[in-house]
């Protein structure tokens, strides 16, 4: 297992659409384990495979209860609306207010290939949507709420 480098700013891979995972094998398991190690070493709750340079439809989240692995995710339900501050490992030192659903349900496969339903509200819903957008080449800066702009912050304050 290893910590992988995060792709940042104008790296063109961040704007590409990720491809589905078709093989559940040791290569996938190594990627998932490396992503978990990478996320644990950072002050973040989510990481998409594209952020470590792999164009596959995978993201992971950690809300303090252990890593959740979502492979080939599909948003199947959204409800409500929330506007909150977001930041991203791929846009270091920046943040902005986005508009996201208040509640989300995602269908995704786990590392064994079994389909599961994941539900999220508030922060979890924001994270699921943020990471899902990465898989489609969309950054949170594309989803800023009306009248909002990106802000610079001192990363030591986070």
Q: Catalytic: which of 131, 148, 155, 156?
A: 131
| Rounded Cα gap, residues 150 and 97, in angstroms | 8
């599909």: which residue's tokens? 74
| Rounded Cα gap, residues 86 and 24, in angstroms | 32
Does the annotation mark 74 as catalytic? no
Say whether 38 sits in a helix, a strand or coil.
helix
| Rounded Cα gap, residues 113 and 109, in angstroms | 5
Catalytic residues: 131
């Amino acid at each position: 297992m290893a910590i992988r480098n995060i792709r940042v700013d104008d790296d063109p891979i961040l704007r590409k659409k990720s491809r589905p995972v078709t093989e559940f094998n040791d290569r996938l398991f190594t990627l998932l384990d490396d992503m978990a190690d990478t996320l644990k070493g950072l002050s973040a709750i989510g990481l998409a495979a594209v952020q470590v340079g792999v164009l596959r439809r995978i993201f992971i989240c950690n809300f303090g209860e252990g890593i959740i692995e979502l492979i080939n995710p599909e948003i199947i339900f959204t409800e409500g609306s929330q506007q909150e501050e977001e930041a991203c490992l791929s846009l270091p030192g920046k943040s902005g207010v986005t508009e996201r659903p208040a509640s989300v349900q995602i269908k995704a496969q786990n590392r064994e290939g079994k389909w599961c339903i994941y539900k999220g509200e508030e922060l979890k819903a924001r994270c699921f949507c943020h990471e899902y957008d990465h898989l489609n080449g969309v950054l949170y800066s594309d989803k800023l709420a009306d009248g909002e702009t990106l802000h610079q912050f001192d990363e030591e304050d986070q």
